[in-house]
């Protein structure tokens, strides 16, 4: 399957979650084994030379793509979750939202000083969550080797917040 065929699986949902927003629905992609496999193949090919020690999947759809990619690349997967969702000792970071503050956490033992981390999510929009994830990783002695996103909403300029890090986006709107 080609990336154009994968792109055709992504549905636009107007006015979701609020008026004026056009939501990119990936559930048809997740329901299509060939399309999903193409996404993981593309990531694995593009990132094959990457010297990464672990994958960090951002809640929640980053878990889906991150788990498959971690399996394909034979790397451990760690979860980046909203506050209060992880059962063991965590490291947390607060970050600004348009109308407030949110928190991300990882298990304390997931971040090893000097480790090179691949961060995976389904979409990069404004870049705030990816930026906060990078800061969480870097503030704890590890580094971001690259970001991998299925979709990039380039008109929102999220990549500008990622300080020149390597970014692999499969589909750009």
Q: What is the pLDDT of residue 98?
A: 73
Query: Percent of the chain at pLDDT above 70?
Result: 100
Residue 98 bears catalytic tag: yes
Distance between CA 51 and CA 85 in Å, rounded? 29
pLDDT of 95 strictly over 90: yes
pLDDT tens digits, residue range 96-112? Answer: 987 789 999 999 999 99
- Residue 131 host element (H or E): helix 128-138
Average pLDDT value over all residues in the chain: 97
pLDDT of 3 strictly over 80: yes
The residues facing 95 across adjacent strands are 102
Residue ranges of domains in the chain: 49-172
Distance between CA 18 and CA 122 in Å, rounded? 20
Q: Which long-range contacts (CB under 8 A, 24 or more apart) does 163-167 make?
A: 163/134, 165/134, 166/50, 167/124
Q: What is the mean pLDDT of residues 92-98?
A: 90
Q: Which long-range contacts (CB under 8 A, 24 or more apart) does 71-74 make?
A: 72/40, 72/43, 72/44, 73/44, 73/47
Q: What is the pLDDT of residue 100?
A: 85
Sign of dihedral through CA atoms 109, 114, 115, 117? Answer: positive
Q: What is the mean pLDDT of residues 123-145?
A: 97
Q: What is the pLDDT of residue 53?
A: 98
pLDDT tens digits, residue range 42-57? Answer: 999 999 999 999 999 9
Catalytic position from the list 5, 46, 59, 61: 61
Q: What is the mean pLDDT of residues 158-171?
A: 96
Torsion, CA 16, CA 169, CA 72, CA 41, rounded to 10: 100
Q: Which CATH number fits domain 49-172: 3.40.50.2020, 1.20.120.80, 3.30.1330.30, 3.40.50.450?
A: 3.40.50.2020
């Amino acid at each position: 399957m080609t990336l154009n065929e994968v792109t055709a699986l992504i549905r636009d949902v107007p006015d979701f979650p609020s008026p004026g927003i056009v939501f990119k629905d990936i559930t048809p992609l997740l329901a299509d084994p060939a399309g999903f496999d193409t996404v993981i193949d593309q990531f694995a090919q593009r990132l094959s030379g990457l010297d990464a020690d672990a994958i960090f999947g951002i809640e929640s759809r980053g878990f889906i793509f991150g788990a498959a990619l971690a399996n394909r690349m034979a790397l451990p997967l760690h979860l980046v979750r909203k506050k209060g969702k992880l059962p063991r000792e965590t490291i947390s970071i607060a970050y600004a939202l348009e109308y407030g503050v949110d928190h991300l956490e990882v298990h304390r033992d997931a971040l090893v000083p000097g480790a090179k981390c691949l961060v995976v999510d389904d979409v990069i929009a404004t870049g705030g969550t990816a930026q906060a994830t990078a800061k969480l990783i870097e503030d704890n002695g590890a580094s971001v080797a690259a970001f991998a996103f299925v979709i990039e909403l380039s008109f929102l300029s999220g990549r500008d917040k990622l300080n020149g890090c390597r970014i692999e986006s499969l589909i750009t709107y």
